[in-house]
Amino acid sequence: MSDLFSPANEQEQEIILLTRELNHHNYLYHSCDAPVISDEEYDQLFRRLLELETKYPEYKQDNTPTQRIGGLVLSEFSQYQHQIPMLSLNNVFLNTEQDDAVLRHHELFQFTARIAKELAIDESQLEFVASPKYDGVAISLIYENGLLIRALTRGDGFTGEDVTANVKTIRNIPLNITTDLLPPELVEVRGEILILNADFLKLNQKQAESGGKLYANPRNLAAGSIRQLDSSITASRPLRFYAYALAQHSGTEFTSFQQELEFLQSVGFSVAKECTLLKGNQALSSYYEQMMDRRNELSFGIDGVVYKLDSKTGQQKLGFVARAPRFAIAYKFPALEVESEILAIDVQVGRTGALTPVARIKPVNVAGVVVTNATLHNQDEIRRKDVRVGDIVLVRRAGDVIPEISRSLIERRTVLLEEFTMPQGCPICGSHVIQEQDETIMRCSGGLYCIAQKKQAITHFCSKLALNIDGLGEKSVEQLVDAGLINSVADIFRLQVEQLLELERFAEKSATNLIAAIEKSKATTLPRFIYALGIRHVGESSAKDLARAFGSLDALMSANKEQLLQVRDIGEVVACSILNFFNEEHNRTIIQELLTLGINYPHLVADNLYHPEISGKTFVITGSFVNFKRDEIKAILEDFGAKVAGSVSKKTDYVIVGSDAGSKLDKANELGIKLIDEEKLAVLLAELNKNEASNNS
């Protein structure tokens, strides 16, 4: 009995219970859209499980939700043969030139007539399951005794690539399936991995604002995400899975396709709510027309609909031909690209200062949506497509979502039209427009001043690693900006309790607390102040390096390019970004306002600590020490530009080992990483202290 309640077994039991609980909450959140706990509560449970799994890896469950964060790096994808081939569907198309229903849907009706004839059933009695034809990536999920053991791409239909590590990061894919009885020995689920339209728009917005290359469409991004060799990249993408078929099941035999879909839903898979059972040609054609009208309202991209015979007996009788089933068909939507005229080209400024040209066009219906604006992405795209105001252009909805100009009909140009060029000043605030090396995106340099960027700038300024103003999160900042109480970061320090009391969500106590937090934040540090300014490419680490190197904000603002390049880890791009920021008079004015309003920090002795064996290296500290505290060791190493990590990996350069070192020491020995004991550590720290004293003298 004593073994049963030993600490390790108690931890194992907790790991098992946490795994079950978190998987259940994942299902409620991602598959049912019905969470029962807050994000904070979920994160607390998740962190506890991660902590236990790190300490007791031998008790980690095969279906642990911590697999969702990725991190496994593959050298290549293994290939496996599909036990049941992943075949394509034959396509039929709408006759868009006909208004008569029979003529418009002629190919669909031919398909149903053939099936009715071969099964000797009246066409009106045929039942089909109709579903959206997802514009995503087909995948096969194989479960043994309830556990997900393999995920394969379609490949050539007969052999697919093993992308299990990547697929396990997709949060709405069950890592294990449970039923009222014992789980079946074998279940193979077919479905589509895709990215929702809203998530795709957010990703491209971030790409545009950071100067990155825009993703072409959700499908291409989903396909690329699944084939990443580093699963942590896959985990960072908002992928979703929708099940559309059950390829194998060693348990119950289903008599209908509809029953298969119901089973899939019952064990935790997402099945599109648009899937429905239909009878007769009228119902089939009406479904197609409705889905074509609604395609732009759906949360995911589709390029048609799929009809599959509901009867399993009928499916078996009809069988397959070549590489497609004879009992199912894909009814594709017609491609849409329409003409319009460019009336003007405006330039919008995003929340991070990115300038985006937008074409104002004559209103035109594109794929069921009236479009009046279309993105032109950047100056290079405008030149490549030779788009000018007054041109007749072809407009499409990229990925059926974002209106864009696909090309200009130059042959229709009858007069000389002026070429468009991006403005040299920000159209919102007039600050200088800059373009970094190798970037296509142009940006406003007035980060602290520009109205278009103010919410982003203010939220960053108040964040935990910056001025750390408790109570000024994203929602509060948005409320204060919308109310006109804050127009720049300097206005934060002009707020009064009386002003806050006029707003919703602010009572006497919360308003008083916020003003007190603002007042407290005035006494800060130079690294925090530099980071709070939101200089592009200057993160927390770079802010520390700059503070250490220059000692004061005045010195940093006066630095030239050569001086900046002498700072550790400051390269050409970052140096130019710093210069551009401080060269903008509006930013310098705001900084002076902040200092006048009471922002203060202790000046530092300017130095640039560097040690060839420390700077830029990654350390891990494990065990306990007699003469040193771990926090002290970490602080000194970081002062010299080292990174102190929490776990040992191939990227670790040194492991500092104290007494009672555990699994981290074992891992270091396994990887052949250099070890530093307490005696060597004392010598190293003495040398570093000597270097620092020399720099300060």
Q: Shortest CA distance to 351 belongs to which of 500, 209, 146, 471?
A: 209
**Contacts with 569 (C-beta within 8 Å, 6 or more apart), sequence order:** 541, 542, 545, 616, 641
Pairing relation of β-strands 302-309 and 127-134? antiparallel
Q: Is 133 a catalytic residue?
A: yes
Closest Cα partner for 421 from 433, 438, 431? 433
Local structure of residue 311 (DSSP, 8 states): B
- Can you tell me the distance from the alpha carbon of 402 to that of 476, in angstroms, rounded to the nearest whole number? 30
Asked whether the beta carbons of 122 and 116 are under 8 A apart, the reply is yes
Nearest CA-CA partner of 352 in 430, 438, 459: 459
Q: Which helix (H) or strand (E) covers residue 92, if one does?
A: strand 91-93
Question: Residue 435 and residue 354: Cα distance in Å, rounded?
Answer: 10
Cβ atoms of 620 and 647 closer than 8 Å = yes
DSSP string covering 221-283, please? HHHHHHT-SBHHHHHHS-EEEEEEEEEEESSPPPSBHHHHHHHHHHTT----TT-EEEESHHH
Burial zone of 65 (CB within 10 Å; 0-12 exposed, 13-18 middle, 19+ buried): buried
Please enumerate, as own/partner, the contacts of 5-13 that have beta carbons within 8 Å and a separation of 24 or more: 8/56, 8/59, 11/52, 11/55, 11/56, 11/59, 12/56, 12/59
Catalytic residue among 117, 133, 202, 509: 133
Residue from 303, 378, 298, 367 nearest 345 by CA: 378
* Spatial contact of 610 and 641, defined as CB atoms under 8 Å apart: yes
617: nearest Cα among 640, 600, 649 = 640
Token pair of 503, please?
């707003």
Q: What's the rounded Cα separation, in Å, for the pair 599 and 230?
A: 43
Closest CA to 586 of 666, 487, 500, 695: 487
Q: How many CB atoms lie within 10 A of CB 412?
A: 11
- Alpha helices (H) in 300-411, listed in sequence order: 312-318, 379-385
**Rounded Cα distance, 315 and 584, in Å:** 70
Q: Give strand pairing partners of 364.
A: 371
Residue 433 main-chain phi, psi, to 5 deg: -100, 130
What letter represents residue 439's amino acid?
A: E
Give the whole-angstrom CA distance, residue 583 versus residue 577.
10
Q: Which among 256, 233, 232, 257 is positioned nearest to 243, based on CA atoms?
A: 257
Which residues are catalytic, by number? 133
